[in-house]
Amino acid sequence: MVRLKAAPNGTKAARTVIIGKVSLCGYNCRQANGLTLSSRRHYGIMNKTETSAPKNFIRQIIDKDLELNKNKGRVVTRFPPEPNGYLHIGHAKSICLNFGIAVDYAGRCNLRFDDTNPEKEETEYAESIKKDVQWLGYEWSRLCYASDYFEQLYQYAVVLIKQGKAYVDSQSADAIRRNRGSLTEPGIDSPYRDRSIEENLDLFTRMRAGEFSDGEHVLRARIDMSAPNINMRDPVLYRVRHVSHWRTHDTWCIYPMYDYTQCLSDAIEGVTHSLCTLEFEDHRPLYDWVLDQLDVPCHPQQIEFGRLNLDYTVMSKRLLNRLVNEEHVSGWDDPRLPTLSGLRRRGFSAPSIRDFCARIGITKSDGIVEMGVLENSIREDLDYHAPRAMAVLRPIKVVIENYPDNHEETVTAQNHPKRPELGTREVPFSKTLFIEREDFMQDPPKKYFRLSPGAEVRLRYAYYITCTQVVKSDGGEILEVRCTYDPDSRGGSSPDGRKVRGTIHWVSAAHAVDAEIRLYDRLFTVPNPNPADFEAQLNPNSLTVLQNCKLEQSLGRRNPEQRYQFERQGYFYMDPDSSARRLVFNRTVTLRDSWGKGHPG
Ligand code: ATP
Ligand code: MG
């Protein structure tokens, strides 16, 4: 098992390097001079060798096929989700692979719903899947449904029966399982294996006509009950299911199995390269067997690649379904989930997810990727794109005693310290401010450079202030901190060259916009959650909701599409729960990777 690690301190990732040191107070003192690859790309400082990433093994296969003029130079792929849940970041890997190949080779990529399990499939899921693929930035060549091929698939099955390559088995599901044998023992032929072609045709027609109940008969391929590959021991091709289908409704009461459907759907659509995850490697002989028996338009090549697994979360739709249905999360788009709708709501951008998929690459083995690698992708994207703003998450009041009453002014703040072209904004300043509760300490330890009695700090973009007094309630709770300011330090420097070590952010109380802020942490406390013990392993602190946070005035102008860096706090994105009267922001990611401090693992 390969493990792809995130760098311990933030922006360093798979193929990357150092980042400039971050000061204790949280402001980046030195400009980040050693940037990661994608940051370097953003900032336009890539050198030539960095751009030429090696091609993955699938692209190498395609290159060779094109050289040999295989498939007459066509490249056709498909992304075949089952509409039984929302897409997750693992699906994004497959989407970027399949659609990315179509884009780069001027080929085609279909979105095909693999809808052969009527019990679990729904229109809601199909709609969300379409939305997610488009959001990721891709457009399908054709929108296809396996259910559109039900009649064709049925006719192909009739051909197999007529060739003596398929038969109706009337054993119970249990007996079929038992008689399949094991890795060390061959299977046992079904007593129905030698039914005549006529009898098989008759039974299969009656299966379709609804004469039998669920489980009474199945159609099986007639291959080899002692094949070393268990998938080749007369696999089931069709089963009876009296269930209404989300598209074909009650037209059918027999449904084709995955292995039978996938290869034929690919062939019908003219797919050249059928890319799937590794667990289907052992199914490839069956994929090829079905196509070899039938007169199909083409014989696509199945190629397997490693599945994406992320630590501290779950990706199987079954488990995601449980999280949603048992209300451990608020829905499929809960920002703690690895679903694309959850990541989108949290503030991940489509380019950051594509960047992540490029970073993890395509390999022939399964791997576990650290959540930090995904977080680094969004962090770098937002470091470049997100305008800065000031927001106080846990406010404490500061009154500047020598500042004129009823006076206000504005100070000029940079929208992006590393990108002057993004300009500046005017931020209101007045006598009463809010600062972060943790930026004040009454009895600070050594090397605490923020506000404390007698200490002087810089208010970002504004003035130097010195703490003169702490006002407490009878119970000892700090109600406000009183300070004086140095009017000559406007803009954040003093004409006498006096230095202060700490710079803190602030918001003018009279101008502040109230907001709710939601902070997220890992959904599980263990890197590899065990489905059996799933609930005990959920992180009880995966969501922290802060009320009465104070945002700078400019954030009150609602712009739901804008992602921000709240200075020193991380990157934030407006939640759709926001209304004109109540703003809600989600923290997408912190400024640095602090995972590991005080956490298990
Ligand atoms: P689950 O087992 O969770 O239901 P699935 O693989 O059955 O997932 P599908 O809807 O069948 O989900 O997936 C559509 C495509 O996405 C398949 O080609 C599958 O291989 C790919 N895919 C799904 N999960 C991952 C993953 N974790 N990493 C890479 N590709 C994935
Ligand atoms: Mg599946």
Q: Are strands 464-472 and 478-486 parallel, antiparallel or unpaired?
A: antiparallel
Per residue in 202-251, pLDDT tens? 999 999 999 999 999 999 999 999 999 999 999 999 999 999 999 999 99
* Ligand 1 pocket test, candidate residues 56, 87, 94, most atoms within 8 A of CB: 94
* Ligand 1 pocket test, candidate residues 84, 91, 122, 316, most atoms within 8 A of CB: 91
Instruction: Supply the residue whose CA is at minimum distance from atom 10 of ligand 1.
Output: 81
Instruction: Supply the residue whose CA is at minimum distance from atom 23 of ligand 1.
Output: 91
The 3-state DSSP class for residue 490 equals coil
The 3-state DSSP class for residue 153 equals helix
Atom of ligand 1 minimally distant from the CA of 320:
3
Per residue in 361-381, pLDDT tens? 999 998 899 999 999 999 999
Q: Are strands 388-389 and 563-566 parallel, antiparallel or unpaired?
A: parallel
Q: Which ligand minimizes its atom distance to the CA of 89?
A: 1
For 311-346+512-601, CATH gives: 2.40.240.10
Instruction: Supply the residue whose CA is at minimum distance from atom 18 of ligand 1.
Output: 276
Q: Is the pLDDT of residue 53 over 60?
A: no
Backbone angles phi, psi at 192, to 5 degrees: -100, 5
Per residue in 75-133, pLDDT tens? 999 999 999 999 999 999 999 999 999 999 999 999 999 999 999 999 999 999 999 99
Per cent of the chain over pLDDT 90 is 85
The overall average pLDDT reported for the chain is: 91
If one compares 592 and 197, the residue with the highest pLDDT of the two is: 197
> Is residue 323 classed exposed, middle or buried when 0-12, 13-18 and 19+ CB atoms within 10 A define those classes?
buried
Atom of ligand 1 minimally distant from the CA of 307:
28
pLDDT attached to residue 38: 61
Atom of ligand 1 minimally distant from the CA of 277:
20
pLDDT attached to residue 388: 97
pLDDT attached to residue 45: 56
Single-letter code of the amino acid located at 299: H
Per residue in 258-268, pLDDT tens? 999 999 999 99
Rg of the chain over Cα atoms, rounded to whole angstroms, equals 30
pLDDT attached to residue 392: 98
Burial letters for 506-537: b for 16+ Cβ neighbours within 10 Å, e otherwise?
bbbbebbbebbbbbbbbbbbbbebeeeebeeb
Per residue in 526-556, pLDDT tens? 999 998 888 899 999 999 999 999 999 999 8
pLDDT attached to residue 1: 52
Q: Which of 42-56, 131-145, 369-383, 437-451 has the lowest mean pLDDT?
A: 42-56
Ligand 2 centroid to Cα of residue 87, in Å, is 11
Q: Which ligand minimizes its atom distance to the CA of 85?
A: 1
pLDDT attached to residue 44: 62
Instruction: Supply the residue whose CA is at minimum distance from atom 25 of ligand 1.
Output: 90
Ligand 1 centroid to Cα of residue 87, in Å, is 9
**Residue pointed to by tokens 């890997």:** 93
pLDDT attached to residue 534: 85
If one compares 49 and 241, the residue with the highest pLDDT of the two is: 241
Per residue in 474-513, pLDDT tens? 999 999 999 999 999 999 898 999 989 999 999 999 999 9
Class of domain 390-511: mainly beta
pLDDT attached to residue 599: 40
Tokens of residue 39, six digits:
């940051």
pLDDT attached to residue 7: 54
Ligand 2 centroid to Cα of residue 527, in Å, is 24
pLDDT band at residue 34 under the 50/70/90 scheme: very low
- CATH 2.40.240.10 intervals, the chain: 311-346+512-601, 390-511
Residue in 379, 509, 401, 396 with CA at minimum distance from that of residue 450: 396
Residues assigned a catalytic role:
82, 307, 317
pLDDT attached to residue 40: 61
Backbone angles phi, psi at 539, to 5 degrees: -80, 115
**Spatial contact of 272 and 65, defined as CB atoms under 8 Å apart:** yes
pLDDT attached to residue 259: 98
Pocket (CB within 6 angstroms of ligand 1): 80-82, 90-91, 93-94, 114, 276-277, 307-308, 315-317
**Spatial contact of 245 and 117, defined as CB atoms under 8 Å apart:** no
Mapping DSSP onto H, E and C, the string for 6-45 reads: CCCCCCCCCCCCCCCCCCCCCCCCCCCCCCCHHHHHHCCC
Quickly count: other Cβ atoms within 10 Å of residue 442's Cβ.
Answer: 12
Per residue in 461-484, pLDDT tens? 999 999 999 999 999 999 999 999
pLDDT attached to residue 3: 63
